[in-house]
């Protein structure tokens, strides 16, 4: 398919982050297949994660087709961009159609990006994840590449104002060793393995992160177990269940 929209969007994103000196560190890119289909399963801590997850596949020269809710495609500004980049619209009332489209894309050799936590993690830890990433990879006969991000929450996340022009924010992206599910595997068990790998990678990114909160009021972007003021996983689950307006 013709790539008229996606390359300029990638170039614009890279230029913006370079101007802002958002120090991107991308590692583990040898795990992203250079050819053939693959699922990239990424953690979700901010509204811009799809951009950074996509940049994590750039060293492999791959364009990631993200599964995103239909409402984004309906937006008069975002919609044309999403369609131009050939992302996959997910209608929750007709989920099988988007699942089948993703499997077809994988079988045709494309890379599909998913956020298996489904929504942003307020606690900045890995939430319970859905099994869709494992199931579609097994159906298509492709690997699942776990990818973790850290630092993106400082630009725009739930419960905080946008800081899209914030300068000098380190953003770390790491792709881990792929899982290779088969139709005979238990998708729930492998999803548990995927979650453990994502949390382990996220723990390492947090431990190696070069920045520290500037003061008490800046501790919001750290998880509670690292001394931050983000909700604990239990508190975050309660907020999600209540549909809190802390978004």
Q: What is the pLDDT along the chain (247 residues), one digit of tens a residue?
A: 789 999 999 999 999 999 999 999 999 999 999 999 999 999 999 999 999 999 999 999 999 999 999 999 999 999 999 999 999 999 987 789 999 999 999 999 999 999 999 999 999 999 999 999 999 999 999 999 999 999 999 999 999 999 999 999 999 999 999 999 999 999 999 999 999 999 999 999 999 999 999 999 999 999 999 999 999 999 999 999 987 544 4
Rounded Cα distance between 160 and 232, Å, is 16
Rounded Cα distance between 94 and 237, Å, is 26
In the 8-state DSSP scheme, what is residue 96?
A: H
Domain residues for the domain of 33 are 23-242
The pLDDT score that the predictor gives to residue 247 is: 40
CA geometry: angle at 150 spanning 36 and 174, to 5°? 30
The pLDDT score that the predictor gives to residue 78 is: 93
Q: Which of 102, 127, 97 is nearest to 114 (CA)?
A: 102
Q: Quick check: is 18 in a domain? A: no
Could you give the number of structural domains in the chain? 1
Q: Which of 237, 216, 236, 219 is nearest to 228 (CA)?
A: 219
Rounded Cα distance between 140 and 15, Å, is 35
Q: Quick check: is 178 in a domain? A: yes
147 close to 42: Cβ distance less than 8 angstroms = yes
CA geometry: angle at 151 spanning 49 and 155, to 5°? 70
The pLDDT score that the predictor gives to residue 243 is: 79
Could you give the 3-state DSSP secondary structure of residue 144? Answer: strand
In the 8-state DSSP scheme, what is residue 108?
A: T
Q: Quick check: is 132 in a domain? A: yes
Q: Which residues contact 90 (CB under 8 A, 6 or more apart)?
A: 67, 68, 69, 70, 98
Q: Quick check: is 39 in a domain? A: yes
Instruction: Specify the pairing of strand 64-69 against strand 88-90.
Output: parallel
144 close to 181: Cβ distance less than 8 angstroms = yes
Rounded Cα distance between 187 and 45, Å, is 24
At 32, which CATH number? 3.40.1130.10
Paired strand residues for 114: 41
Q: Quick check: is 9 in a domain? A: no
pTM for the structure as a whole: 0.95
Q: Quick check: is 179 in a domain? A: yes
120 close to 45: Cβ distance less than 8 angstroms = yes
Q: Quick check: is 1 in a domain? A: no
14 close to 90: Cβ distance less than 8 angstroms = no
Q: Quick check: is 14 in a domain? A: no
Q: Is 38 exposed, middle or buried (0-12, 13-18, 19+ CB in 10 A)?
A: buried
The pLDDT score that the predictor gives to residue 244 is: 52
Q: In the numeric block, which tokens belong to residue 21?
A: 């000196």
In the 8-state DSSP scheme, what is residue 179?
A: B
Q: Is 11 exposed, middle or buried (0-12, 13-18, 19+ CB in 10 A)?
A: exposed
CA 171 to chain centre: 13
């Amino acid at each position: 398919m013709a790539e008229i929209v996606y390359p300029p969007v990638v170039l614009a994103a890279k230029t913006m982050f370079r101007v802002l000196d958002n120090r991107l560190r991308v590692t583990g890119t040898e795990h992203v297949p250079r050819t053939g289909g693959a699922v990239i399963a990424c953690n979700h801590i901010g509204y811009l994660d799809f951009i950074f997850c996509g940049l994590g596949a750039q060293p492999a020269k791959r364009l990631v087709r993200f599964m995103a809710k239909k409402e984004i495609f309906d937006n008069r500004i975002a919609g044309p961009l999403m369609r131009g980049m050939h992302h996959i619209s997910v209608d929750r009332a007709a989920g099988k159609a988007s699942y089948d489209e993703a499997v077809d894309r994988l079988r045709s050799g494309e890379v599909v990006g998913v956020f298996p936590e489904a929504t942003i993690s307020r606690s900045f830890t890995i939430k319970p994840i859905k099994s869709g990433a494992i199931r579609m990879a097994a159906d298509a006969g492709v690997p699942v590449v776990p990818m973790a991000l850290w630092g993106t929450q400082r630009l725009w996340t739930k419960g905080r104002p946008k800081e899209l022009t914030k300068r000098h924010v380190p953003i770390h992206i790491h792709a881990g060793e792929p899982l290779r599910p088969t139709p005979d595997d238990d998708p729930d068990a492998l999803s548990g393995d995927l979650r453990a790998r994502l949390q382990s990678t996220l723990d390492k990114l947090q431990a190696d992160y070069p920045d520290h909160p500037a003061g008490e009021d800046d501790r919001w972007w750290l998880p509670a177990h690292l001394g931050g003021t983000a909700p604990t996983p239990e508190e975050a689950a309660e907020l999600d269940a209540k549909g809190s307006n802390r978004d």
